[in-house]
């Protein structure tokens, strides 16, 4: 799978779009990260974005991913292949700019704006079975 296809798949899975069943398209664009982000955050993001468009071609949201993802791993772990377990929680993964009011999978309203995407893991205590980790958080620093 190419990097573009991989990130397009990630963008599609980060569905903060109006509904799973809605028609949408995913495209790559040479768009720098939003000025609303702190300089330290913008420096670690790629100059390309992944744009998610609705069926009519209107922009729903745009995602920017990190140039490099920091991990805590030994040389042997890197050689054998990394997993999400080597990514420290709260690590900045990217940013998203939401263009129009949308709702998440729980029908909660999300206001237009710029948000950072950070890595987090739901505890494996049985209370979160069938859920995924949440990535959208207010704008913050790289740390």
Q: How confident is the model at residue 66 (pLDDT cuts 50, 70, 90)?
A: very high
What is the pTM for the complete model shown? 0.70
Q: How confident is the model at residue 9 (pLDDT cuts 50, 70, 90)?
A: very low
The two structure tokens encoding residue 2: 């190419």
DSSP category for residue 34: P
- Phi/psi at 7 (nearest 5 deg)? -65, -30
* Domain limits, the chain: 3-138
pLDDT in tens, 80-129: 888 778 888 889 999 999 988 888 777 888 899 999 998 887 777 777 66
- Give the SS3 label for residue 119: coil
Contact 91, 118 (CB under 8 A): yes
Query: How many helical (H) and strand (E) elements, i.e. helices and strands, does the chain have?
Result: 3, 8
- Phi/psi at 96 (nearest 5 deg)? -135, 140
């Amino acid at each position: 799978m190419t990097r573009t296809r991989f990130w397009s798949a990630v963008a599609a899975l980060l569905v903060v779009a109006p509904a799973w069943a809605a028609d949408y398209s995913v495209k790559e664009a040479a768009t720098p990260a939003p000025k609303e982000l702190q300089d330290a955050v913008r420096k670690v993001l790629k100059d390309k974005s992944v744009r998610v468009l609705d069926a009519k071609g209107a922009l729903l949201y745009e995602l920017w991913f990190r140039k490099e993802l920091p991990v805590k791993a030994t040389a042997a772990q890197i050689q054998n292949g990394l997993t999400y377990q080597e990514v420290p929680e709260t690590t900045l993964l990217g940013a998203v700019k939401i263009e129009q009011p949308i709702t998440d999978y729980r029908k909660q309203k999300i206001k237009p704006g710029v948000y950072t995407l950070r890595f987090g893991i739901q505890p494996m205590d049985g209370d979160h079975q069938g859920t995924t980790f949440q990535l959208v958080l207010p704008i913050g620093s790289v740390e």
